[in-house]
Amino acid sequence: MTHSHAFNDGNPLAERRTAWATTLTAVMMVIEITGGWLSNSMALLADGWHMSSHTLALGLALFAYMMARRFAHDRRFAFGTWKMEVLGGYTSAILLLLVAATMAWESIARLLAPTAIHYDEAIAIAIVGLAVNLGCAALLHGGHAHHHHGHDHGRGGHHHHDRHDHHDHAHADLNLRAAYLHVVADAATSVLAIVALLGGRWFGAAWLDPMMGIVGAVLVAVWAAGLLRSTSKVLLDAEMDAPVVDEIREVLAASQPPVALQDLHVWRVAQHKYACIVGVESGDSRAPDDYRQALSVHEELVHITVEINRPPAA
């Protein structure tokens, strides 16, 4: 039995830029939450708590890079360490739902019993927060470096080749792209907070501040619920409704001579990357490699195992 790995050490440039973005976002999160508390601004508090969700997301992206590099040659991880990021996301989603509930409770309380807001201080902090978000977005957008790694495994009667193809565009690194989108979304929330504070400062619409706190709570809850659904599916291997499953069935259905699909298991091993086990009944002389070659047209399939069962003799 032979077993070999060929990995690189991750994406050092993306890891460094993500570390900087995580640090800046975390510092700004603390400033906004503290400033919102001291100035009685629920909009600023909501933006700070919403920024916490993106701090967690950036931290998970950074954690994924660090773990991938640390355990690059650890044979215990059959499909790599990507699910560490998924488990972290699942945990943070539960915490974020609690944060959203707290934000909504405090905002409703402030809406029913308004308190004085120090608008000048709150607006200044919110503007700084927006600037930090835009800076992090620029930092992450410039950190997309191309990297490639593959696996070559040979085990007794079957072989497979794991391909990771990265197209030449600005967001080739999907992990970094997710972090980038979170920062952009956080910038949009900062804009909401600034609008609410300016409305209260100039037009006396103090109700805008706690209302934007409620809007921020809803945004955090929606993002957390979506993260909870997506991570749960991956952790439970509930991916048999993924489009790639139908694509596998279509390839086998078009096979000539025809074959009978007896067994099919598909699960995700990385973002937009899947492994599959296929069991077919065929009476012709085709080998497992022939089926793997046919299925390899779908780039998201990076690990294919094929089992051929021969029909009983007449």
Kindly give the confidence (pLDDT) of every residue in the chain, 314 residues in length, as a single tens digit, with 9 standing for 90 and above. 333 333 334 567 778 888 888 898 899 888 888 888 887 777 677 767 777 877 887 888 788 778 877 887 788 888 877 777 677 778 777 877 887 888 788 888 878 887 777 778 778 888 888 888 898 888 888 654 444 444 444 333 344 444 334 333 333 454 677 677 777 777 777 787 788 888 888 887 878 878 887 887 788 788 778 878 888 888 899 989 999 999 999 999 888 888 889 999 999 887 778 999 999 998 888 889 999 999 988 988 988 999 999 887 64
Q: In this structure, are residues 91 and 228 in contact, taking their beta carbons and an 8 Å threshold?
A: no
150-155 and 2-6 beta bridge pairing: antiparallel
Tell me the CA end-to-end span of the chain in Å, nearest whole number.
36
Q: What is the DSSP letter of 64?
A: H
Kind plus residue range of the DSSP H or E element containing 150: strand 150-155
CATH code 1.20.120 for 2-235 = no
Tell me the one-letter amino acid at 7. Answer: F
Radius of gyration over alpha carbons of the chain, in Å?
25
Among 295, 8, 314, smallest CA distance to 148 is for 8
C-alpha span between 205 and 208 (Å, rounded): 6
What's the gap between Cα 38 and its chain centre? 33
Report pLDDT for 306: 93
Among 26, 122, 106, 87, smallest CA distance to 230 is for 87
Tokens representing 139? 């930092």
Task: Count the Cβ atoms, other than its own, within 10 Å of residue 180.
Answer: 26
* Residues 6+ positions from 105 with CB-CB distance below 8 Å: none
Report pLDDT for 43: 66
Q: Maximum distance among all alpha carbons in the chain?
A: 89
C-alpha span between 36 and 106 (Å, rounded): 12
pTM for the model stands at 0.65
What are the domain boundaries of the chain? 2-235, 243-309
CATH topology of domain 243-309: Alpha-Beta Plaits (3.30.70)
C-alpha span between 228 and 56 (Å, rounded): 14
